[in-house]
Structures are given as structure tokens and as C-alpha cells.
Amino acid sequence: ANATINVAFAMSMPGMAPGQAAAKHVKDGVYEAKINLAMAGAWEITVSVQQPGQKPVQEKFTVNAQ
């Protein structure tokens, strides 16, 4: 419940500005962030997790919005 989680999202198209959102703790280690993927296509999502006193952990994945 004490982790800091940030979600960054970007589309590799000219003129598309990247976005980011902070996730909020919902319950029992579950965090939620709402983001708006403004158009269809492949979006690169990067989730960063940091717990107090530890190095941040980062994971990247691609989401296909329709």
C-alpha cells in the first residue's frame, strides 16, 4: 500500500505527445491508473514502481487500442 506507481504512455507517431498518470492504491496491493489512449493503434506503456528504500522497477509493454 505504500508504493509509488507511475504509468507513462506514448504512441510513436509524429505529433503525438506522451502522457502520464499516477496510480492510486485501491486495495490489497492493487493499484489503478486511468489513462486516455486517444486514438487506435499501438501504444507503448511504461509502468514504474518504487517502494520506500528500494530502487525503482520499470516494465514496458505494448497495448493495441481499437
pLDDT at 51: 95
- How far is it, in rounded angstroms, from Cα 41 to Cα 11? 8
pLDDT at 13: 85
pLDDT at 12: 87
Model pTM score:
0.86
Per-residue pLDDT tens digits for 19-61: 999 999 999 989 999 999 989 999 999 999 999 999 999 999 9
Cell of 4: 509509488
Per-residue pLDDT tens digits for 8-25: 999 988 888 999 999 999
